[in-house]
C-alpha cells in the first residue's frame, strides 16, 4: 500500500468543504478539503461512507490526522462509549500448515523457525482458559494452523468448548481455517459463539499472497458461519503491497458481510516468509486505516491486531479513538508488549476494559501464577475479550513469566 501522504481526491461531493490552501502562497486558489466530521455525522444518520470518501481518508495528509480521528471517534463513542474489549488468544496447533500464504510464518513456504505441534491436550487448553479468565477476558480465541480442521481436531474442539464455557464463562471464537457447512453447524452446536476467518485483502489482490486457496473459498466459509447462526469475525492485513483501492474494497466487502468483529492487522514482515522486509507502513498510515474501517463499519467491533506495537509505536493510544478492541500480550509467532503496558495505556486514556466473563463454577484464576505455562510446547497468547458491562482493569501480570514458551499470535489469517 502506498504510504505517500498525497492529497485526497476531491471529485464533486456535497460533503466536501473548502478551506484555505495549506501553502505559503497566499495568492493560490483555495483547495477543496474534506469535512471528515460531517462525513461521520452522515454515517450516523444512516448514509454509507462511499468508496471515494474512504480513499480520501487513506490519502489524507498528516496534518489532517487529528481531524480524521475526531470523525472516527464520533462513531466509536456513539456505538461503544469509552469501552475497550480485550481478547485472549490460544494457538492450539502451530506450524504444519499446507497453505502458501506469503505473510504467514507457519505456512509451507516459510522458513521461519516457529514451534510445530499438533492440537494440544485438554490440560494445556484449560490452563490457557484459566489465564484468560484471570485477565478478565470475555472471549477465548482458539486457533489452529491448517487449511481446515480434520475430524480429530473437530472432536477436540467439540469436547473442550463446553468445558471451558462451563468452568470459566468465556465466550469462544474459533479460528480453524476453511469450514464446511456441516462443520460450522457442529461448532454452533458445541457452544462456539463466533468464528474468525479473515479476508486478508481484496479479491483482486488475493492471488498475490496465496495460491493454495482462493478469496472465494474464504467468503464461502464466512457464509457457512453466518448460516449456522454464528457471529462473523473477519478482517485483514495492511502493508502487503496492496493499494489503497484494495484496502477499501476489503473494508466494503466486510460491511456487506456484516462482520460483527473486524481485526485489523499490520504486516509484521517476518524473516523467512515471502513478504519479509516488504512493509513500509508509518504510524499515520495505520491510524488512517483504522479510522477508515470505523467509518465504513461504524457498528462493528474494530480490533487493533497483529503488528500494532511495531507500526503504531508511540502512537498506539491514538488507535483506540477509532478501534474499541485489542489483543493483549503476544501473538502467534511474534511478541507483543507486556499486558501491563496495555492496561496502563487504557487507564491513561480514561477508557475502561469492559465485559469480563464471570466464571460460573470456579473462583477467578490467580493471574500471578504460571499454571498456564505449557513447558515450551503450547501457545496461548495474552489476549482477553469483552462484551457489555464494566470491570476494573486487571492487576498487572508478568506476561513473560506467566506464558513463557506458550505462544503468540501472528499477523492475521490464522488457520488458512
Residue 295 and residue 76 in contact, taking contact as beta carbons nearer than 8 Å: no
Dihedral pair phi/psi, residue 175, rounded to 5°:
-125, 95
173 counts as catalytic: yes
Q: What is the dihedral of CA 378, 157, 391, 346, to 10 degrees?
A: 50
Cell numbers for 303, please give them: 480490533
**Residue 96: left (phi > 0), alpha (psi -120 to 50), or beta?**
left
Q: In angstroms, how far apart are the furthest CA atoms of the chain?
A: 73
**Residue 339: left (phi > 0), alpha (psi -120 to 50), or beta?**
alpha
- Any idea how long the chain is? 416
Residues 6+ apart with CB under 8 A from 322: 69, 72, 73, 76, 287, 290, 291, 293, 294, 302
374 counts as catalytic: no
Integer Cα distance of 207 and 215 in angstroms: 8
Residue 15 and residue 53 in contact, taking contact as beta carbons nearer than 8 Å: yes
**Which is the catalytic residue, given 233, 374, 386, 414?**
233
**Which is the catalytic residue, given 76, 97, 190, 255?**
97
288 counts as catalytic: no
63-69: Cβ within 8 A, 24+ apart: 63/22, 64/33, 64/34, 64/36, 65/284, 65/287, 65/288, 67/36, 67/37, 68/36, 68/287, 68/288, 68/291, 69/287, 69/291, 69/318, 69/321, 69/322
233 counts as catalytic: yes
**Which is the catalytic residue, given 303, 374, 386, 409?**
303
Cell numbers for 344, please give them: 496502563
Which single residue is written with the C-alpha cell 504510504?
Answer: 3
How much is the CA Rg of the chain, to the nearest whole Å? 21
CA distances 285 to 58, 66, 210, Å, are 7, 13, 24
190 counts as catalytic: no
**Which is the catalytic residue, given 33, 101, 135, 409?**
101
* Number of continuous H segments (helices) and E segments (strands) in the chain: 13, 12
**Which is the catalytic residue, given 33, 135, 173, 380?**
173
**Which is the catalytic residue, given 33, 135, 141, 194?**
141
**Which is the catalytic residue, given 104, 175, 380, 414?**
104
Catalytic (active-site) positions: 97, 101, 104, 141, 173, 233, 303
Amino acid at each position: 500500500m502506498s504510504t505517500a501522504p498525497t492529497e485526497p481526491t476531491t471529485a464533486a461531493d456535497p460533503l466536501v468543504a473548502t478551506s484555505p490552501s495549506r501553502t505559503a502562497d497566499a495568492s493560490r486558489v483555495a483547495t477543496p478539503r474534506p469535512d471528515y466530521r460531517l462525513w461521520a455525522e452522515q454515517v450516523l444518520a444512516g448514509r454509507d461512507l462511499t468508496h471515494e470518501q474512504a480513499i480520501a481518508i487513506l490519502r489524507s495528509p498528516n496534518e489532517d490526522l487529528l481531524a480524521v480521528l475526531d470523525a472516527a471517534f464520533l462513531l466509536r463513542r456513539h456505538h461503544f462509549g469509552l469501552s475497550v474489549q480485550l481478547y485472549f488468544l490460544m494457538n492450539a496447533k502451530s506450524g504444519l500448515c499446507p497453505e502458501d500464504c506469503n505473510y504467514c510464518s507457519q505456512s509451507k513456504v516459510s522458513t521461519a523457525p516457529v514451534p510445530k505441534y499438533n492440537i494440544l491436550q485438554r490440560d494445556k487448553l484449560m490452563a490457557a482458559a484459566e489465564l484468560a479468565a484471570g485477565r478478565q477476558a470475555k472471549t477465548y480465541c482458539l486457533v489452529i494452523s491448517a487449511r481446515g480442521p480434520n475430524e480429530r481436531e473437530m472432536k477436540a474442539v467439540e469436547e473442550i468448548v463446553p468445558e471451558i464455557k462451563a468452568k470459566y464463562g468465556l465466550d469462544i471464537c474459533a479460528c480453524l481455517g476453511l469450514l464446511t457447512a456441516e462443520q460450522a453447524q457442529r461448532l454452533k452446536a458445541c457452544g462456539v459463539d463466533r468464528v474468525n476467518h479473515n479476508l486478508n485483502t481484496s479479491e483482486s489482490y488475493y492471488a498475490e499472497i496465496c495460491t493454495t486457496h482462493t478469496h472465494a473459498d474464504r467468503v464461502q466459509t464466512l457464509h457457512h458461519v453466518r448460516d449456522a447462526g454464528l457471529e462473523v469475525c473477519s478482517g485483514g492485513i495492511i502493508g502487503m503491497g496492496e493499494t489503497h483501492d484494495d484496502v477499501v474494497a476489503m473494508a466494503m466487502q466486510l460491511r456487506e458481510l456484516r462482520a460483527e468483529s473486524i481485526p485489523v492487522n499490520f504486516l509484521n514482515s517476518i524473516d523467512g516468509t515471502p513478504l519479509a522486509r516488504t512493509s513500509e507502513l508509518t504510524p499515520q498510515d495505520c491510524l488512517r486505516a483504522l479510522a477508515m474501517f470505523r467509518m465504513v463499519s461504524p457498528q462493528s467491533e474494530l480490533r487493533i491486531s497483529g503488528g500494532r506495537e511495531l507500526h503504531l509505536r508511540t502512537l498506539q493510544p491514538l488507535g483506540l479513538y477509532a478501534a474499541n478492541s485489542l489483543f493483549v500480550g503476544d501473538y502467534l509467532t511474534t511478541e507483543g508488549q507486556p499486558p501491563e503496558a496495555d492496561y496502563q495505556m487504557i487507564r491513561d486514556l480514561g477508557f475502561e476494559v469492559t465485559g469480563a466473563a464471570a466464571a460460573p463454577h470456579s473462583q477467578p484464576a490467580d493471574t500471578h501464577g504460571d499454571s498456564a505455562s505449557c513447558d515450551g510446547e503450547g501457545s496461548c497468547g495474552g489476549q482477553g475479550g469483552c462484551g457489555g458491562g464494566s470491570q476494573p482493569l486487571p492487576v498487572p501480570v508478568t506476561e513473560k513469566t506467566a506464558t513463557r514458551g506458550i505462544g503468540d499470535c501472528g499477523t492475521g489469517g490464522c488457520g488458512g
